[in-house]
Amino acid sequence: GAVVSQHPSRVICKSGTSVKIECRSLDFQATTMFWYRQFPKKSLMLMATSNEGSKATYEQGVEKDKFLINHASLTLSTLTVTSAHPEDSSFYICSAIGRLRAYEQYFGPGTRLTVT
């Protein structure tokens, strides 16, 4: 149980285009989902916290107009990178928390974004 999927696993896009990444909790309802980004050989940096049906809370320094987060249901959150630039190239990972074990986060497999 407690499986989180992400789609796509890898994406290459051209500079100036937008990319949408989906995060799904497959077998539980996610009360909260989180989005992280991870640069090579670096740690996971929290970008935003997303609760179903409400606006995401962004960390300081993360542009909310650039990284659009939608948490439309208890099993789906999406991250859209708008007007992507090469510096947005990174590994994006989502995680989700369910009701039963509200401390433990279940991570998705990550999405490798490359902007050319």
Taking the CA atoms of 42, 107, 59 and 77 in sequence, report the sign of the dihedral they define.
positive
Using the minimum distance from each CB to another protein, give the nearer residue, 31 or 82.
31
With beta carbons less than 8 A apart as the criterion, state whether 77 and 50 touch. yes
Q: According to CB under 8 A, which one of 34, 58, 67, 92 is a site residue for another protein? A: 34
Query: Judged by CB under 8 A, does residue 89 bind another protein?
Result: no
Query: Judged by CB under 8 A, does residue 109 bind another protein?
Result: yes
Measured CA to CA, the distance from residue 40 to residue 88 in angstroms comes to: 12
Query: Least distance (Å) from another protein to the CB of residue 37?
Result: 12
Query: Judged by CB under 8 A, does residue 13 bind another protein?
Result: no
